A and B are shown apart, each in its own frame.
Chain A
Amino acid sequence: MGFATRLVSVLVLLAGWQAAASAAGSRLLPAPLAILDFIRRESASGDLWWNVGITLSRVGISFFLAMTLGVLLGIALGRSRRLNLVLDTPLLILLNTPALVITVLAYIWVGLNEAAAIVAVVLNKLPNVAVILREGARGLDPQLEEMARTYRFDRRTWIAHVLVPQLQPFAVAAARSGLSLAWKIVLVIELLGRPNGVGFAINYYFVQSLNVAAIVGYSIVFMSVMIAIDILILQRLEAYVRRWR
C-alpha cells in the first residue's frame, strides 16, 4: 500500500513534468526523456561517472573527518562543563556562518586546492555533529553510571558497553542529517573552486550553454547515489543500533 502510494506520487510528478515540458516547448524546460537521454550520453562518454566519483570521494573524506572530529568534540562538550563554556560561543558562531562564507574564506586562506575544499566541508558540518552528540553525552543515564562504578567497570568496558550504546542513536542521526548536508556543500565548493566533480559540471553546463537537461541530469544521478547510500547503509545501521528495543 505504502509502495503503491509512493509510485503513484512519482508517476503523477513525472506526468506533470512531461505536460509542462510539452506546453513550454523550450530547451530550458526539457522533458524527462531528454534528461534520460543526456544521462545516457554523458555516462557513455565516461564524464558522468568520473565527476560523480570525484564528488563522492570528496563527500566521503570530509564526511568521515567531520563525523570523527564532531563525535569526539561533542562527547567532550557533553562531559565537561568548562570545555562547553569555552567552546559554546565559537561553536554557535560557526553554526551560524553561511556555508558560502566558510568556503570562500577557506579558498582564500588555504588556497584553491583540495585541502581547502575538504576543510570547508568539515567546518560546515562539524558543528552540527558536535551539537547533536553533545546532547547525547549530556543525557547519559546516571543510574547506569552508578551501576558501572559499583561494579568497577574498567574504562574499556565502560566505553564499549555503557557509553557508546547510549550515543549510537545520536551518532546515526548526525550521520544521516550530516550526509545530505555534506554533499550539498561539496557541490557549492566544487562550483566555486574545483576543476572537476558534479558541482563543477553543473557550473560548466550553466555558463557554457544553459543546458538544463545536463544540470538536472547530474543532480538526479548524484541525488540517487546519496539516497541509495542512505537506504542501503545508514538506515540499516539505524535499525541495527536499535535492535534491542
Chain B
Amino acid sequence: MAGSAAPGPGAVALRVDIDRKVYGAGGREPVEAVRGLAFSVIAGEITCLIGPSGAGKTTTLRILLGLDPDYEGRVTPHPDAAGIAMAFQEPRLLPWRTVEQNVRLALPRGTRGQDLDGLFDSLGLGPWRSRYPGALSLGMARRVSLARALAQKPRILVLDEPFVSLDDTSAAGLRGLVVAAVERSGMGVLMVTHNVAEAIEIADRLLLVSGRPAGLLGTIPLERPRGARDRAWVEGRRAALAAQFPTVIAG
C-alpha cells in the first residue's frame, strides 16, 4: 500500500471532495453529516482540520481512509492506492502482541523483517520493543501507534487528536517527533484537533470546518516558519481567528 515514490514538496498528495454524507438515508430521521467539504493534503505540509466536536470530522477521516464507501463525492487517489497511514486517537494496539510485533504486523507480509532499529530509536521506543502495550503509558502507546504508521513509509499520515489527554511534556515530545518525521520524509500530514493553539504552532495550513453538516469555512495558511513561532505570535493568530470565525474558535 505505502509506496516510497513520494510526490515532491508542494504537490497534492490527496484530494478529498465530499459533496454529501448522510447517515440513515431513506430512514425516518436522516442526518446529514457532511456537505461540500473539499480539501487537499499537500506533500511535506502539515494540514490541521479544526472544527466543533460532532462536526463530522471522524466521518471525514473514515471516508478518506476507505472505511466508509457510502457517500457522494470522491477521494483521489483511491484510499487503497493513496499510501495513507493512520494514528488513531486511541492507540488501538493489539494488547496480546509486543510493541515490536504491533509495528511489524501492520506491514505487508514480506516486508515485516526489515530493519526498524532507526525508527524505534528515533521515537525513543528502543527499550520498549519487547514489552506488551498494557505496560505502556498513553504517551508511549501513542508513540507505538505513530511508529506503526511511520513504518509504512506513508505518503500521507493521518492523525486523529494525537496529543489529547497527554501531559504537556509528553504532548510536546510527541509533537516534536511528528514534525521531525514530516521534515525528514516529506509526507503530507492531515491532523484533526480541537486544540487551536497547538494547530497554529505546528501546522502549515488550517482547515476550519463548520458544525453539522460539516463544510469548509476557510483555509488559513500559516507562512511563518515553525521554528520562529513564539507564544505571542500563536496567541495573536488565535485571537484573530476567533474574531473572524467565532462559531469554530472560542474567544
Contacts and interface: CB of A to CB of B under 8 A. Distances in A.
A146 B158 CA distance: 14
B67 interface: yes
B120 to A, nearest CB: 18
B67 A161 contact: no
B88 A165 contact: no
Contact of B88 (A147, A152, A156, A245): A147
Contacts of A154: 108-109
A153 B94 contact: no
A143 interface: yes
Contacts of B96: 161, 165, 244
Interface residues of B, number: 23
Interface residues of A, number: 17
A156 B95 CA distance: 18
Given A154-B109, A161-B94, 17 more contacts: A143-B88, A147-B86, A147-B88, A147-B92, A150-B65, A151-B85, A151-B86, A151-B152, A153-B106, A154-B108, A157-B105, A161-B96, A161-B97, A244-B95, A244-B97, A244-B132, A244-B134
Contacts, number: 47
A172 to B, nearest CB: 13
B134 A157 contact: no
A144 B93 CA distance: 8
Contacts of B132: 244
Interface of B: 1, 65, 67, 80, 84-86, 88, 90, 92, 94-97, 101, 105-106, 108-109, 132, 134, 148, 152
B134 A143 contact: no
A149 interface: yes
Interface string A133-166: 0000000000110110111111011000110010
A127 B80 CA distance: 41
A110 B134 CA distance: 52
